[in-house]
Amino acid sequence: MIKNIARAQPLQAQVRLARRRLFRGTTLAALFSVFALYVAWHESHGTDVSRSDELPITQAHADDASQTPAPAAAGNGGAAGVAGGDLVKRGEYLARAGDCVACHTADKSRPFAGGLPINTPFGTIVTPNITPDPDTGIGQWTDADFLRAMHEGIGKGGERLYPAFPYAEYTKVTDQDVLAIRAYLNTLTPIHYAPPANSLKFPFNQRWLMGFWNMFNFTEGRFVPDPKQSAEWNRGAYLVEGLAHCEECHTPRNITQGLKSDSRFSGAVQAGWHAYNITRDKNSGVGTWTDDELVAYLSTGAAPGRANAAGPMGEVINDSTQYLTKEDLGSIVTYLRTVPAISGGESRPRDQWGNPADDVTALRGTKVNAVNGAQLFVANCATCHNWTGQGVGASAPGAYPSLIHNSTVGASDANNLALVILHGVRRTTKQADILMPAFGPQLTDDQIAAITNYVTKQFGNPQSTLTADQIAQLRMQQ
């Protein structure tokens, strides 16, 4: 009798477990059915809207760098009272501050016509045509449409824009400055071109879900100057938090791809490139940089003994920050100096590593059969960077930079260094035209890994190394 009861108890437990599983499965199926019905209803009853992101801002190339408009306003309606050509010039300057050409020109023969694919964890978003073309661009947008897109992330047809368009920052820009940008955009040459559609999987292709994203990651509203801060600080905050949208690259993201508000400017990875920590932390950030060095970096892409811009940051300097006035650049630095320091765990500043090399003497007369980093460096890099790694040209505008005391070489990860070797550098500013060839087509993954690891060991952070497999992954990054 006792044995029968003992056998019955596990059987009853199994029955209860099976019932619970059945109940959970039924509940999940019911919830999914309700969700699917809602989606179907929303699609059949919702507004008939365009299926391409109509991003409302662009940037022009400078025709004459000497014709620099007035500095950006610190939230005080700087474009008010400006009309005609002056309004267009101001809009051009503000559009440059937004650096939107980086996203809106996939083909340089079709400037501002979009078509650039942006990879996200949820799929690929293709940037739209924002020229004044009435059919494929934003030629039929009203000023109200434009303001709504910039401030609320809502397109002309009422559709929610994806946050690849940084409306979370552009919402801070004043009405006057937004309309100045609009006036400038109206002067662009219309280009009739319809970019490919986005490639987003369900449910991320449902734009209405951006409403939930906004609940956690977006606060609509214009910039409000802080009366306790100086006019310079407020102007810097207006630029950094608004048009320049610096956080989009330099702040890590949460699980929804929103910005982590408690880690502002502490650094993040974008398409393999590391956008470094720009807080005032002395080891992980730019706390040891002088104001003049930061301004020089933003205006020329080079701060000798500190850093030389490449990759996405090189593009930012090419297309945006080199055109900002010294007053605005100084204001940006003033604001960044007040951002709370965040440590990334580095033991010393990235630009305080390295010693000159003497490997070339050891290589003379020797036969090297294997993949050898020192040999590859001398063969491919020493002509410009010197076999000692000390560079050629000192601090001249067109100098080949030293690899010693170089923040890319001394970083705690070698991604940026490897990407520079793979893809090279092309940075054109008013001071110099910088070109480093891409070695990716000529060298194998093993060879690029060997050069990268030799450079970090000799001239930078010896703990930062990469494997050939990691180089292969970086090759595929867009």
Residue-level pLDDT at 65: 33
Q: What is the pLDDT along the chain (478 residues), one digit of tens a residue?
A: 444 444 444 555 554 555 555 555 554 444 444 444 444 444 444 433 333 333 332 332 333 333 344 455 554 444 444 557 899 999 999 999 998 888 889 998 998 899 999 888 888 999 999 999 999 999 999 999 999 999 999 999 999 999 999 999 999 999 999 999 999 999 999 999 999 999 988 988 899 988 999 999 999 999 999 999 999 999 999 999 999 999 999 999 999 989 999 999 999 998 899 999 999 999 999 999 999 999 999 999 999 999 999 999 999 999 999 999 999 999 999 999 999 999 998 989 999 999 999 888 878 777 777 899 999 999 999 999 999 999 998 788 888 999 999 999 999 999 999 999 999 999 999 888 999 999 999 999 999 999 999 999 999 999 999 999 999 999 988 6
Residue-level pLDDT at 17: 52
Q: In DSSP terms, which residues pair with 269 in a beta bridge?
A: 274
Residue-level pLDDT at 24: 52
> Which domains, from first to last, does the chain contain?
47-190+202-226 (no CATH), 359-475 (1.10.760.10)
Name the residue among 218, 143, 133 with its Cα closest to residue 181. 143
Name the residue among 223, 177, 173, 151 with its Cα closest to residue 78. 177
Residue-level pLDDT at 274: 96
Tell me the whole-structure pTM to 2 decimals. Answer: 0.81
Distance CA 104, CA 88 (A): 19
Residue-level pLDDT at 362: 79
Distance CA 332, CA 337 (A): 9
Residues in the chain: 478
Distance CA 182, CA 91 (A): 7
Q: In DSSP terms, which residues pair with 302 in a beta bridge?
A: 308
Task: Supply φ then ψ for residue 436, to 5 degrees.
Answer: -125, 130
Residue-level pLDDT at 42: 43
Q: Angle at CA 85, nearest 5°, toward 83 and 90?
A: 80
Residue-level pLDDT at 69: 43
